[in-house]
Structure 1
């Protein structure tokens, strides 16, 4: 009964961020940063400590990510009650850039001192600390995909921001906001839970959840339709280096009695895989076969399958699809 209640509770959760479900995974850098003070007087003091303890670009970038994820909290109140955007006038491009820099400086210092921020605050603080430790970074703004209703959404949003940092000559993708925790609407509060998968996330995973306003990544054009219409994936899928191979679309149109074929990379028959029916009852995948480096199985569409179908592995959600009846 406890497992059944846990599974039913899944559908009561509406998350702002991808809901983490895996155990804490600290590397050597994280273990050192965990011993740092929770507060520093200045960003320069924190940067000096990081440079003293770490020499490689990767370790410094990870240390900034970890310290922020451990100590900066998502400002839910600011998210729910956003302030009106600050406008300003300027006469020259130089004056414009100076005023933008001042606004960003105020934002990052507020995030650092109050230890609360929304995604913009996380990104400007990360970029500032990266600069202080000799790293090149960029802030990227764009769309995010975190909820069931985002599958097949028609209207693009620009509601999120993240970082790219140059490590060993290669730009790496980082989302500290999602690295620090998630919002649990069943409790009405933020839950602090370290998610290291959002440091140097592989692009093939990152861009299933993020879409830059520019529509490009390192000069390559990204497909907005693939982003909007793809399945919703969860942290566990990324952690296991698994992948949805079939169907490619998160929108599945079927008639009653149709077979739907699913195939997941890096998942085997030994993994406990199931989905929830319309009554939130777990249905175990029983007809699976290992094929082409993954697990393939069919599900027959009937009245017991609801508007969405979410697959679970070891009691953790891994991917969701929207089902539309023809």
Structure 2
């Protein structure tokens, strides 16, 4: 449970894309943080260690992200059976804020000591540690898009939370919950798999999978329809910078015999691309042609294609669309 709903109108935020120099710095930070103890006696001790080892705002923010992602695991049991909302009474606004802070402090301590949390614990811990090392961070609550069924979903829901952190006078997007791993449907459990892609993420990718309750960013109103009706992208899409140019909607209307045109950036004709038919058999894409730094190809819609079509690069999902028969 996130105690205090924070509505942020992002008016003058700027974003700097991750470049090669930052990537190298991030790797250096990660290697140092990997040598840290898995347990510290207090958040203050961890913050002191980070302050000792790093001086720049970027490196401190990255060190917090990496330590949490390396050491705090997603508590799937709590996700399945969330605790009841904790209520309290108060007589003054000061008493109300004091009790909210006490509950939030308890959440942070539990997440830190047990090293298990859901998104509320991850974000509260990230914000807390940021403050201890002199960084400003906020918690953003909103919707997330992670399943095929989310494509074309009718309603937004507040089901996730993430952080923004101020680095060198620019707000950066952080989702340390997703940085630590993912849920594997085939195994029926959480898989610990550190990824750096949710630290200082390109907004184009971030907001394909996140929609803030405030509904705005960079001074522009985000479109709920674009979010809900957009294609579903995956971690490998972000890692490889595989921008999806066509179709421009995640919902494709077609009748049997129609050719659906796809365009993906930063993929070459020599890459192995395929999709699965209704029998879960791979169908290799063989008609691709180079186009503007990527490839373009057609898939003919027929009875062997199911309600969703997912494009794979090698063994990794890249993008999924929902197919609606005309």
In structure 1, what is the equivalent of residue 90 of structure 2? 90
Alpha-carbon offset, residue 219 of structure 1 = 3.4
Q: Quick one: distance in 2 between partners of 1:269 and 1:187?
A: 33
Match of 1:179 in 2: 179
Residue 14 of structure 1: aligned partner: none
Equivalences for residues 172-251 of structure 1 within 5 A: 172-251=172-251
User: How many residues are paired up?
Assistant: 302
**Residue in 2 that maps onto 1:160:** 160
> SS at 2:194's partner residue?
coil
How does the TM-score come out when normalised to structure 2?
0.91
- How is 1:30-49 mapped onto 2 (pairs within 5 angstroms)? 30-49=30-49
Secondary structure of the residue aligned to 1:197 is: coil
CA–CA separation in structure 2 for the residues paired with 1:206 and 1:90: 38
Counterpart-to-counterpart distance in 2, 1:290 and 1:90: 65
| Aligned-partner SS, 2:38 | coil
Deviates more, 1:86-95 or 1:99-108: 86-95
Give the whole-Å Cα distance in 2 for the aligned partners of 1:309 and 1:186.
19
How many Å separate the matches in 1 of 2:314 and 2:79?
33
Structure 2 residue aligned with 1:149: 149
Unaligned runs of 5+ in 2: 1-23
TM-score by length of 1: 0.91
1:87 Cα deviation after fit: 1.2
Q: Could you list the runs of 5+ residues in structure 1 that have no partner in the other structure?
A: 1-24
Partner of 2:80: 80
C-alpha distance in 1 between matches for 2:225 and 2:271: 31
| TM-superposition CA deviations, 1:137-169 (whole Å, max 9, x none) | 000000000000000000111000000001111
**Mapping of 1:218-297 within 5 angstroms?**
218-297=218-297
Query: CA separation in 2, counterparts of 1:283 and 1:134?
Result: 52
Deviating runs (4+, > 6 A) in structure 1? Answer: none
Aligned partners of 1:183 and 1:296: how far apart in 2? 32
Note the alpha carbon deviations across 1:100-136, whole angstroms, 9 max, x for none.
2111111010000000000000000000000000000
Q: C-alpha offsets along residues 266-292 of structure 1, whole Å, 9 cap, x if unaligned?
A: 111121111111111111111111112
The 2-side partners of 1:120 and 1:218 are apart by 24
CA distance in structure 2 between the partners assigned to 1:147 and 1:153 by the alignment: 10
How far residue 293 of structure 1 moved from its aligned partner, in angstroms, is: 2.0
1:249 CA displacement? 0.7
Q: d(CA) in 2 for partners of 1:44 and 1:127? A: 13
- The CA distance in 2 between the partners of 1:141 and 1:309, in whole Å, is 30
Work out whether 1:57 is the aligned partner of 2:57.
yes
Shift of 1:186: 2.1
Residue by residue over 1:33-71, the C-alpha shift from the partner in whole angstroms, topping out at 9 and shown as x without a partner, is 000000000000000000000000010000000000010
Q: Aligned equivalents of 1:95 and 1:136: distance in 2?
A: 25
SS in structure 2 of the partner of residue 302 of structure 1: coil
Alpha-carbon separation, structure 1, partners of 2:178 and 2:55: 26
> In 2, Cα distance between the equivalents of 1:201 and 1:129?
20
